[in-house]
A and B are shown apart, each in its own frame.
Chain A
Amino acid sequence: EVQLVQSGAEVKKPGESLKISCRASGYSFSSYWIGWVRQMPGKGLEWMGIIYPGDSDTRYSPSFQGQVIISADKSITTAYLQWSSLKASDTAMYYCARADTVMITEPGYFDYWGQGILVTVSS
């Protein structure tokens, strides 16, 4: 059974750093993309970026390029989303999700999702 288990809720102050995780199981971790999706309070889903653990190929939405870093550790089948300096506007629910490959080299649609992590940034 494919499972994506995300780390627990976080409460941080502006300017602090944060790294949240998504542990995958039930499939070949290196052979599928894992992406991150943001949902700000009362707002819609936003595609942030995605990584292919097999070769660390990483893609970012232009809106999130330079704002976050996506990484993965194949040895523990875990993907990460990190910030170096949080802002209040980073307050949101963050979902990880798995994607297959399309067009030989590109990330596809999300077929399995994690339960989400609520990140709250407040002074």
Chain B
Amino acid sequence: QSALTQPASVSGSPGQWITISCTGTSSDIGGYNYVSWYQHHPSKAPKLLIYDVSERPSGISNRFSGSKSGNTASLTISGLQAEDEADYYCSSYTTTSAWVFGGGTKLTVL
């Protein structure tokens, strides 16, 4: 079961928007609408940002949005803020009845 493919890093300036892609296969992202995204600041617990492809948990800013097309899911962050600088991970349910994470993307706010 291979990890989902994410870019290693992305960057953007405050106020701009960025998109992080997450590519899988028909056995995971393409087969289910169960994709989630997590924000992870060093030395803290990961935080759920998006679930079921595009749903936001209570308390999560609407600057974060998710989408999916075929075998690729995407996380868009608009109005970048300094505190958005973190690692971001996608995750998908798979045909093995387990979940798999992406390799992670480091977001740098310039």
Contact = CB atoms under 8 A, between A and B. Distances in A.
Q: Do A and B come from one complex?
A: yes
Question: What range describes how many residues of B lie at the interface?
Answer: 20 to 34
Interface in B59-110: 87, 89, 91, 93, 96-104
Interface residues of A, number: 26
Interface in A39-67: 44-47, 49-50, 59-63
Contact of A61 (B34, B93, B100, B104): B100
Interface in B1-53: 1, 3, 34, 36, 38, 40, 45-48, 51-52
A49 to B, nearest CB: 7
A61 B89 contact: no
B45 A113 contact: yes
Interface of A: 35, 37, 44-47, 49-50, 59-63, 95, 97, 102, 106-111, 113-116
